Structure 1
Amino acid sequence: MKILESLKESRSLLLLTHVRPDGDAIGSALALGRALTLMGKHVRLYNESPIPAIFRFLPGIEQIVSDPGNLSAYDTAVVLDCSDLSRVGSLADEVGRIPTLLNIDHHMTNTGFGCHRLVDSSASSTGELVYRLLTDLDADIDEGMAYAIYTAIFTDTGSFLFQNTTPEAYFICGRMVEMGVDSYKVAQTLFATYSLGRLKLLNMVLDTIEISGNGKLSVMYLTQEMLRETETSVDDINGLVNYAKHIEDVQVAVLIQESRPLSGDSPKPHYHVSLRSNGPVDVGTIAAAYGGGGHPGAAAFTSFTSLKDIKKEVLRISDAL
């Protein structure tokens, strides 16, 4: 496998994932980064966005930095959990000029960028692919790497509730528990511990729910003012869209989140639109039509139109359901 050869031959590597990183992106980067470091490589883990506080329990999380350093110093860039190189953020073009560009991903919408690729849309997560790589590299998986891999798979399968939960995902997570992962600790930290502010925010967001005329799509929204009023942060948004997904007869749930202006942009707000499928609808294809991407069961895109217009456009999606 050429990607294995590249990893073995590389001396200085930049590992990076998509903006607004989730557990799969973060866990995959931490696990692979640790393994490559133990192989004697110079490794830097980079992400343009702040790392959500909920993942602070992961060993080595402080290794992910917001400064990539001198990009000309790297012979290899490893892009994890990104369907397209642009997903890494503002440095995409510069990263693309690093001599060897490796693409490790499980999104069906992956564009096939990079010199060498490990792309498998049948995998539950990028974390599952990283585990395969570590096995092929004969890496000794320590407890920190085990926590990273377990978290990657656990989060991207929605704590094993989503349709992408494969037998391989269960097998790998079982192995990680054998290596020291406290599965109860991970579950409690990520899905079962809420601040009072998060509960107040949930109440506000649920109050915005609208259902399409045919009852097959639900949409709700979240504003920066709601975050200020409840003294919460983007860390508290994780998983909120799933509440709308569990409404009877709903096939697609949508959360429209007002985001802060992008660096260097005008004060005009933009919106992160999260989609979740509760049935046969492929929301990854829907998101791709709006310049985003994701999986059949979970996807997202960004919009720079008004909240009113986005809601109107999203509700129109229900006509095809």
Structure 2
Amino acid sequence: MLLLTHVRPDGDAIGSLLAMGRGLSKMGKKVWLCNEGPIPAIFRFLPGIEEIVSEPGDLSRYDTVVTLDCSDLSRLGGVAEKVGRVPTLINIDHHITNTGFGSHQLVDSSASSTGEILYRLFGDLGIEIDEPMAYAIYTAIFTDTGSFLFQNTNPESYYICGRMVEKGVDAYNVAQNLFATYSLGRLKLLNMVLETIQISRNGKLSVMYLTQDMLRETDTLVDDINGLVNYAKHIEDVQVAVLIQESRRMPGVNHGTHFHVSLRSNGPVDVGNIALAYGGGGHPGAAAFTARSGLAEIKQEVFRISESL
């Protein structure tokens, strides 16, 4: 059985992948955990993280594929087309923008995270959650709720995380690994990115950008980008914050320069719908899409969004 999650994996994606893998293994299933992109270093503390590989091998050897925290089949990356031909495709997700792909779906947009859905699923299946699974589920919920700061935080978020602490999770250790440990390079990068902030004429949208040159100059990695967009979100009167990030060109792939555009909402604006209009997706409070035009053109288009705020 092959377990997959989306490219550019976040805490919910990684945590759900690990929790589901261990849960199915406890049921006697042979599982293969895969994500085609590099796993961010901040998740290295999670038990079992070394089991996630970047290549699934020959997909014809799998009779079942489970996708986790993935709103659209294309978000799986290069394996998407072949995965769609596997006999049984199970889609487990919480994004309201989920396209309903697969032969079976377990999609609950009211859940704070895919990790929350898995917690309930394990209970229904009678699977005992052990400490490694608890760390994975706690991380999934903790990150997707922005450490309980985002609007998708619900009573279940607190309840489940409390149960995971009872299972042995060191909440302080998780927080330190995810949000409280910065390299000097990250601080230098933050300074450079903050210098790029621009505000729309109506003051309701903020834009910042990050280039590959900035990463090279500060000797930082993609991991160090995590959370930067939130600085633009906290500006007074801003309702939508945007981080335009130049993506690294993959060796041997001739797609030209492209940008990952992250959006965060600081109020009633549903950025999930905005991202959906540009071929992306996400939550009302946090979403993203990919753009292949130039930086100036992307900024111009983003500022056009502010006119409707």
Q: In the alignment, which residue of structure 1 is the partner of 2:172?
A: 184
Q: In the alignment, which residue of structure 1 is the partner of 2:190?
A: 202
Q: Does 1:37 align with 2:25?
A: yes
Question: 1:170, 1:150 → 2: CA distance?
Answer: 10
Superposition deviation, residue 49 in structure 1: 0.4
TM-score, normalised relative to structure 2: 0.99
From 25, 38, 44, the counterpart of 2:13 = 25
From 288, 299, 304, the counterpart of 2:276 = 288
Superposition deviation, residue 265 in structure 1: 2.7
Q: Name the CA shift for 1:107/1:131 in 2 (closer, same or farther; >3 Å).
A: same
Q: In the alignment, which residue of structure 2 is the partner of 1:257?
A: 245
Q: In the alignment, which residue of structure 1 is the partner of 2:98?
A: 110
Q: In the alignment, which residue of structure 2 is the partner of 1:143?
A: 131
Instruction: Between 26-35 and 133-142, report the one with greater CA deviation.
Output: 133-142
From 23, 40, 57, the counterpart of 2:45 = 57
| TM alignment of 1:189-268, pairs within 5 A | 189-262=177-250, 264-266=252-254, 268=256
| TM alignment of 1:129-168, pairs within 5 A | 129-168=117-156
Task: Give the counterpart letter for 1:307 in structure 2.
Answer: L
Task: Give the counterpart letter for 1:291 in structure 2.
Answer: G
From 63, 66, 82, the counterpart of 1:78 = 66
Consecutive unaligned residues of structure 2, counting only runs of 5 or more, are none
Question: 2:102, 2:123 → 1: CA distance?
Answer: 22
Question: 1:257, 1:229 → 2: CA distance?
Answer: 15
Task: Give the counterpart letter for 2:104 in structure 1.
Answer: H
Q: In the alignment, which residue of structure 1 is the partner of 2:161?
A: 173
SS at match of 2:31: strand
Q: In the alignment, which residue of structure 2 is the partner of 1:3?
A: none
Question: 1:261, 1:111 → 2: CA distance?
Answer: 28
Superposition deviation, residue 75 in structure 1: 1.1
Task: Give the counterpart letter for 1:78 in structure 2.
Answer: V
Task: Give the counterpart letter for 1:44 in structure 2.
Answer: W
Superposition deviation, residue 267 in structure 1: 6.4
Question: 2:153, 2:167 → 1: CA distance?
Answer: 21
Output one character per residue of 1:247-287: Cα deviation in whole Å (capped at 9) or x when no partner.
00000000000001245432621100000000000000000
SS at match of 1:65: coil
From 105, 108, 121, the counterpart of 2:109 = 121
SS at match of 2:123: helix
Q: Does 1:92 align with 2:77?
A: no
Alignment length, in residue pairs? Answer: 309
Q: Does 1:320 align with 2:308?
A: yes
SS at match of 1:168: helix
Question: 2:279, 2:251 → 1: CA distance?
Answer: 20
Consecutive unaligned residues of structure 1, counting only runs of 5 or more, are 1-12
SS at match of 1:311: helix
Question: 1:193, 1:200 → 2: CA distance?
Answer: 14
Output one character per residue of 1:118-155: Cα deviation in whole Å (capped at 9) or x when no partner.
10100000000111111111111111000000000000
Superposition deviation, residue 79 in structure 1: 0.5
TM-score, normalised relative to structure 1: 0.95
Q: Does 1:46 align with 2:15?
A: no
Instruction: Between 214-223 and 30-39, report the one with greater CA deviation.
Output: 30-39
Q: In the alignment, which residue of structure 2 is the partner of 1:10?
A: none
Question: 1:296, 1:242 → 2: CA distance?
Answer: 15
Superposition deviation, residue 72 in structure 1: 1.0
Question: 1:167, 1:157 → 2: CA distance?
Answer: 12
